[in-house]
Amino acid sequence: MGTVVLYASKTGFTKKYAEWIAKGLKCQAISLDKVDQAAIDQAEVIVFGGGIYAGRINGLKKMQKYLAKWSNKKFIVFATGAGPERTEEVERVKSSNLSQNQDIPFFYFRSGLNYEKMGFKDKLMMKCFVTILKKQKNKSEADQKALEAMEKSYDVCDQAKIKDLINCVNRV
């Protein structure tokens, strides 16, 4: 059974997870903008990953267009984000990005922030977001800690977290 991992990554976090997953599945990881038709044609299982930007999974729209063409293939999605792995947050991202009637396994991996690799617009958006949070009164200790973490680059990617996705692909 052939598997391919496709990814859309702006600052490298999703690429890192995609490469770990591809290594675990002994297959190729290909950036969505360099997608190779031959690799797709051979694959029965397509794993797609993208970073979350203001609640949207980067690249998923483009990927959904391809999906129509690849209806005979099994599709698995993962997203990377700076937010915690709280179930209700993950469910919100899943339900607002994937349609309910598509039975697509979904995984979330916590990543971090990389201001050095961020584009101008994304950096500006983050600065605005941080400013708004700073102005909020009566912040809990957890909110204050989250805000402080958000002001600089950090990386909490964890290779061990991909295990469930690997098992999911192997069960297909």
Ligand X SMILES: Cc1cc2nc3c(=O)[nH]c(=O)nc-3n(C[C@H](O)[C@H](O)[C@H](O)COP(=O)(O)O)c2cc1C
* Burial bucket for residue 101 (CB in 10 Å: 0-12, 13-18, 19+): exposed
Dihedral sign for Cα 128, 132, 135, 140, please. Answer: negative
Which one of the spans 30-38, 47-55, 70-78, 138-146 is the region binding ligand X (CB under 6 A)? 47-55
Among residues 77, 83, 149, the alpha carbon closest in space to that of 110 is found at 83
Closest approach of ligand X to the CB of residue 169, in Å = 20
Q: How far is the CB of 135 from ligand X (least distance, A)?
A: 18
# residues near ligand X by CB under 6 A? 24
Shortest Å, Cβ 81 to ligand X: 3
Q: How many Å from the N-terminal Cα to the C-terminal Cα in the chain?
A: 9
Candidates 39, 67, 126, 166; binder of ligand X (CB under 6 A) is: 126
Contact 165, 107 (CB under 8 A): yes
Binding residues vs ligand X (CB under 6 A): 9-15, 51-55, 58, 80-83, 111-113, 118, 122, 125-126
